[in-house]
Structure formats: structure tokens, C-alpha cells
């Protein structure tokens, strides 16, 4: 029969491994993480500058997309209106209703 004298070995190993992984990840992320943040910040600044060529192209593309969506919406609304039958005209001589 197997003896269970050294119980908890897997749990402790898992805990220590996770702790070491956390420390190693925090240490390794300090250098490249800062570089990534700086790269993202510079790209964001590049896109948001008013005189940016990339930013102006992006804004033009967004405006073109908005215009295309509005045109498509108009076409779809016209198709829906054409496919929905008109309501019947009201009866010329409606019968009086008696309320009690």
C-alpha cells in the first residue's frame, strides 16, 4: 500500500511555482513593458495630431465609412417602405358607437 506521509507536495510545488512565475513575469515586464507603452503612446500622439498624414487619412476613411453607412441605411429604409403595404383607407361612414 502507498504511504501518504509527504502529503501536500504538489500543492506546495504549485504555490511556489506560481509565486516564482509571478516574480519572474514582473521582473521581465518592467523593461519591454515600458518600451511597449512608449511605442503605443507615440503612435497615439501621431494619430491624434491635427497635421498628421496618417491621422487625416484615418479620419477621411472614417468619414467615408459613415457616409456609406448612411447611404445604405437610406436604401434599406426605402426597400422596407416599398415592401410594407399601405393601411386600408378608413370607412367613409363609420357606424356610431354606443357606449353604455
Cα–Cα distance for residue pair 88/100, rounded to 1 Å: 29
User: Confidence band (pLDDT; 50, 70, 90) for 54?
Assistant: confident
CA distances from residue 35 to 28, 29, 38, 42, 79 in whole angstroms, order as listed: 12, 10, 5, 11, 52
- Sorted by where each begins, the domain ranges of the chain are 27-83
pTM of the predicted model over 0.85: no
Tens-digit pLDDT profile for residues 3-42: 555 566 788 888 888 888 888 877 776 666 677 778 778 8
Cα–Cα distance for residue pair 3/9, rounded to 1 Å: 13
Closest CA to 58 of 48, 68, 72: 48
Cα–Cα distance for residue pair 25/29, rounded to 1 Å: 6
Q: Per-residue pLDDT for 2 more than 60?
A: no
Q: Contact at 8 Å (CB) between 32 and 25?
A: no
Q: What is the model's pLDDT at position 59?
A: 83
In degrees rounded to 5, what are phi and psi of residue 85? Answer: -70, 150
Q: What is the model's pLDDT at position 20?
A: 87
- Stronger pLDDT, 99 or 22, i.e. the higher one: 22
Tens-digit pLDDT profile for residues 61-98: 999 999 999 999 999 999 998 888 877 777 777 666 66
Amino acid at each position: 500500500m502507498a504511504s501518504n506521509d509527504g502529503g501536500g507536495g504538489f500543492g506546495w510545488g504549485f504555490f511556489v511555482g506560481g509565486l516564482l512565475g509571478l516574480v519572474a513575469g514582473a521582473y521581465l515586464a518592467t523593461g519591454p513593458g515600458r518600451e511597449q507603452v512608449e511605442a503605443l503612446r507615440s503612435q497615439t500622439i501621431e494619430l491624434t495630431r491635427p497635421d498628421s498624414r496618417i491621422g487625416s487619412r484615418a479620419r477621411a476613411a472614417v468619414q467615408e465609412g459613415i457616409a456609406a453607412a448612411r447611404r445604405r441605411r437610406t436604401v434599406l429604409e426605402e426597400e422596407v417602405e416599398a415592401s410594407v403595404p399601405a393601411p386600408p383607407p378608413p370607412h367613409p361612414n363609420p357606424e356610431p358607437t354606443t357606449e353604455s
